[in-house]
Homo-oligomer: A and B are copies of this chain.
Amino acid sequence: MTSKQFTSVWLREPRKAASPGRSRDEIVSATVELLDAEGLNGLSMRKLGAKLSAGATSLYWYVANKDELLELAYDQVWAEMSVPDPDEVGWRDSAAVLAHSMRQVMLRHPWSADIVGRMPALGPHAMHVADRMRRMFKLAGFRGTEIDFAGSTLTAFVFGMTIPEIAWDTATSGDDYDPEAMRDLVRKAAARYPEMLASIDMDRYDDPRVVRELCFDFGLVSMLDGLERRLTTA
């Protein structure tokens, strides 16, 4: 009764790509542009309609609802990720490049952080990345379900590092970043934990981006080492 069937754009046949009218591609790239410019809350059917100089409700001809629009936009994000062929550069380099690429792409499309928790990535571009990742870990020497587990571990790490990073960026939204205000904030939040407070490196707030980069690399190396360990222990 209260339960809804699972639905997804990828389960429906799209409208015939007829000559007149707008194309789905047009709509999707306008959606991505709007999301990049105004964020997830900035996207509304009315605004998107206006951007395409059409009525808001015209969009419902191409798409069942707003969620489908987001699914389509989300897959565009996956399209931007680059995975070098593992057969050419080896699994570990291939994994490292993918990880950095995923992070950069998400930082360019901060709204994607809100989508990862809302809908599974089932689009063709996500599938392409998944396929490459499988080959990557197969080449590494994993077998059976562990191939998937290794892939999940890699994407988990990247998502988990990048999503909170985006939370910080959008909260401090950009251009008027004030390191001293940030230090005050942290001092206030951690006031009851003097030990923690004493050991926080306050310089990191001068330019948080460089520390984050170091942190990401530290975690990535750890994770890859950990995966490699699985191979020798088997």
Contacts and interface: CB of A to CB of B under 8 A. Distances in A.
Most buried by B among A146, A219, A226: A226
A89 to B, nearest CB: 19
Nearest to A164: B116
Interface string A106-144: 000000011011111110100110110011000000001
B211 A134 contact: no
Contacts of A150: 218, 222
A137 to B, nearest CB: 11
Interface stretch (A5-13, A50-58, A79-87): A5-13
Contacts of A90: none
A214 B150 CA distance: 12
Given A116-B163, A134-B199, A153-B222, 10 more contacts: A6-B182, A8-B185, A121-B164, A122-B189, A124-B192, A127-B190, A156-B164, A157-B157, A157-B160, A157-B223
